[in-house]
Structure 1
């Protein structure tokens, strides 16, 4: 639901969220060349404590889940109205994420394997493999939340905002248990529950339940911000909204009460800004500036750390880069130059990836992501494939692509097999005529 301005604002939020994640990673990446020529990457958030406050600016993934929920609600409703089922819709969403991820993984794993065979230091490759996979945490979470959409949306249609509130209450309970028993397996549930709150708020935005309730949105924004401040000031939670190795409690691994408060505040502010932004984005000149972000957002997200590695090789291994003390005034003065250099590398990388993008478009058409999945064996194969892909991506998000200096064969095989099962086109007996739409 919603007009042209609404749809454009959703695309704007998704594009801006990805750009802010990219900029955030680039800003906090610090490289140091040792006298023996090796390069290390000190953790800026741990060594320069005040920089943790920067994560309040750059952690805007709640916005992506909010916009994703809006888009998924419309897509799933159209699919159902056209006679489609859950299995076909879930497969279509998974294909759109796994296809570009598979291309990225294939190229990255091949480069790491060749480098290891050529005798490159395993420790260096381990660091490179971690940098290449640090963004993977998002993919398994989004795949799971997307797969739950038919049931989350059914709950929303029946109970409205109470469904999102129930997810929030469950997330609070899970985090309290996790705080009492640090490292408990139950804490992992919040990787889905917390982000599902933003996703479900996207449902309420799409069907108009929140558009006119500005007093409620102001109350949620204020309460979320106040709760975050109190939990950081008086609770065990750090201010950082991304993982910091020196902190005993993390706001992201798993997502915490403080992260939930931030999710609520950020989503409410985005919805409060919606009317003004929708009006502004009706201007064609502004939309022409924003629209390209949507086309390249997944590519930006997957590939944005490759320019960092290229810059490290070009300027740090050659000792050409100035190296003031990390966190010093001179170091920060060089940050704009660092960002500009990485942006130039990224533009070159995006140009080089054009043939890959074209190939993915052809493959995407060949696997028929719009095809309906009816046969029980096809449904089971798709679920098994999705589970394998989620497992492999989760492992890589935690360990990197080459923890021991070379890609782990079982993980690569699991991801390859899982992706192949998801991409395998079902029989041509029935095709759901869902329009492409947004999402």
Structure 2
């Protein structure tokens, strides 16, 4: 199967918009006493909630992830690979760079705490450096469930995401009906299922897309093109009804003070918008694929994909650098928050942050190369079973718990060092990477290269392929 450049484009585009979206809504204010705060733009300037319709692009990442994972698992299974081996190989690509990033941030938290940095400042910075983590535990769980989900897909096809969506709507209705007091207990726990159900619908649609059941880009199943049109029209229309006469807010990012949220947990409105986004992505696929035939465009997508993990993990560090360089020193111009002048300064703000991020990614190149080398050496065997397999599952579970904590509380909740989550992420990563002593990777994971194959005619080509996969950890683990 030839490499699907459009899948690579969707993943790269999703990461780019996540970074730009986070930067755009992050605004800093320096007070007369020198304190720097970051007011919540979506709550302070309510009309900006409409901007989230363009920047909440993660449904496309889950769609592309399902497309790639379905092909990868099918090839690994055909080659005799085990579920634990396949899941472990994919998980370690995310966990290694995430654990290193978390370790460095936690080291900084510990040092700052020892130096007496204000606890409120420490908590704010710790939250900013972990705000992107919500995606990781959800994606790791969907990856772990892929062997089961793909088997269900092979038997029932499109009916599986439809069924998951119906259950998700039921869970969402229960959360929406619960009052503020009940959401703190059982209703909130049940609502957490929608992280897997809603995002799982899009992930499962990736399987369907790969097998030609959705259309919009040459799908072969009857009425496939009609399904893409129905998702686009129905999803956008459903979203409009749910946020207009319906009870849901327009923002697709959590806003403080709102009674209902579209993301915590994912709501019916988020599901509708995701379906609409999937439908549009399938319908524009032929046009985008023609653009991707240009060598420069392909090269840009390849470069962005190769650095996707570093971009995703480190993109809030430039905000801290700029805050120290321009706001602590009083050099940054500060028009009224949310005014026309403030918005005009968003352009140089984004350019400055982009320049700093390029420098950060360049400085991280030696670390990235080291992680590539470690990944190749510690990746679990493709056919691993028995007690070693159970250690992979246990390590994955502990890692998901730790990442969930960081996503919800940050790296310094209340200004305190998070001892147990830090230990959990470290131990969990080690269990996944080293499920048994002397374990070595037994072959590839079925050519997990976005659905593609590389030239494997020589040992040099194979080593180059491994290096490319290591550099694009987030892209390939999708």
| TM-score normalised by length of structure 2 | 0.89
Q: CA deviation at 1:404?
A: 2.3
Work out whether 1:227 is the aligned partner of 2:231.
Answer: no
Q: CA deviation at 1:115?
A: 1.1
Q: CA deviation at 1:382?
A: 1.3
Contact 1:70-1:203 at 8 Å conserved across structures: yes
Change (3 A) 1:27 1:102: same
Which whole-Å deviations, capped at 9, do the CAs of 1:212-244 have from their partners, x for residues lacking one?
A: 322221111101101100000112100000000
Q: CA deviation at 1:366?
A: 1.2
Distance 2:233 2:395 in 1: 42
Change (3 A) 1:217 1:95: same
Counterparts of 1:47-62 in structure 2 under 5 Å? 47-62=44-59
Work out whether 1:189 is the aligned partner of 2:193.
Answer: yes
Work out whether 1:315 is the aligned partner of 2:326.
Answer: yes
Work out whether 1:113 is the aligned partner of 2:105.
Answer: no
Which whole-Å deviations, capped at 9, do the CAs of 1:260-298 have from their partners, x for residues lacking one?
A: 000100011101111222222122232112210110111
Aligned to 2:453: none
Describe the SS at the equivalent of 2:264.
Answer: coil
Counterparts of 1:34-433 in structure 2 under 5 Å? 34-182=31-179, 183=183, 184=187, 185-211=189-215, 212=219, 213-375=224-386, 377-426=387-436, 428=439, 431-433=442-444
Which whole-Å deviations, capped at 9, do the CAs of 1:135-188 have from their partners, x for residues lacking one?
A: 000000000011100111111100010011111111001111111225211000
Contact 2:11-2:60 at 8 Å conserved across structures: yes
Choose 170-179 or 258-267, whichever is displaced more: 170-179
Contact 1:82-1:432 at 8 Å conserved across structures: no
Describe the SS at the equivalent of 1:57.
Answer: helix
Contact 1:168-1:193 at 8 Å conserved across structures: yes
Distance 1:191 1:323 in 2: 38
Instruction: Identify which of 428, 449, 453 aligns with 1:437.
Output: 449
Change (3 A) 1:428 1:29: closer
Distance 2:317 2:383 in 1: 36
Unaligned runs of 5+ in 2: 451-475
Contact 2:380-2:432 at 8 Å conserved across structures: no
Q: CA deviation at 1:370?
A: 4.8
Distance 2:380 2:40 in 1: 40
Distance 1:32 1:54 in 2: 21
Q: CA deviation at 1:28?
A: 0.4
Contact 1:371-1:425 at 8 Å conserved across structures: no
Q: CA deviation at 1:419?
A: 1.1
Distance 1:169 1:332 in 2: 41
Q: CA deviation at 1:362?
A: 1.1
Distance 1:90 1:216 in 2: 31
Aligned to 2:462: none
Distance 2:311 2:300 in 1: 16
Change (3 A) 1:389 1:430: closer
Aligned to 2:22: 25
Contact 1:371-1:428 at 8 Å conserved across structures: no
Q: CA deviation at 1:432?
A: 4.3
Distance 1:82 1:114 in 2: 48
Distance 1:269 1:380 in 2: 41
Contact 2:66-2:207 at 8 Å conserved across structures: yes
Following TM superposition, where does structure 1 have runs of at least 4 consecutive aligned residues deviating by more than 6 angstroms?
none
Describe the SS at the equivalent of 2:307.
Answer: helix
Change (3 A) 1:435 1:216: closer
- RMSD, aligned CA: 1.3
| TM-score normalised by length of structure 1 | 0.97
Choose 348-357 or 406-415, whichever is displaced more: 406-415
